[in-house]
């Protein structure tokens, strides 16, 4: 059976274009510098979203 996820070591030198719904080819492997993108300002919502919940807002508002 052929693998469904392409091997990152055999891909072309230029990184593929990011598309929604595309399967992550690297998983938890090391991502080369050429394929890294996104700055802290662009990723802030991704990092902050798990820490914001209605319960913490309610408890914080009720304790004051």
Quick: pLDDT tens for 4-52.
676 666 655 555 566 767 777 777 888 888 888 778 888 888 888 887 7
Confidence (pTM): 0.34
State how far the Cα of 31 lies from the Cα of 8, in Å rounded to an integer. Answer: 10
Structure tokens at 13: 């030198």
- Residue labelled with tokens 């991502």: 31
State how far the Cα of 13 lies from the Cα of 8, in Å rounded to an integer. Answer: 10
pLDDT of residue 23: 78
């Amino acid at each position: 059976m052929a693998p469904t996820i392409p091997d990152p070591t055999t891909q072309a030198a230029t990184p593929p274009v990011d598309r929604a719904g595309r399967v992550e080819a690297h998983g938890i492997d090391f991502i080369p510098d050429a394929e890294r993108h996104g700055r802290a300002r662009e990723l802030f919502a991704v990092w902050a979203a798990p820490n914001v919940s209605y319960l913490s807002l309610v408890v914080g508002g009720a304790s004051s």
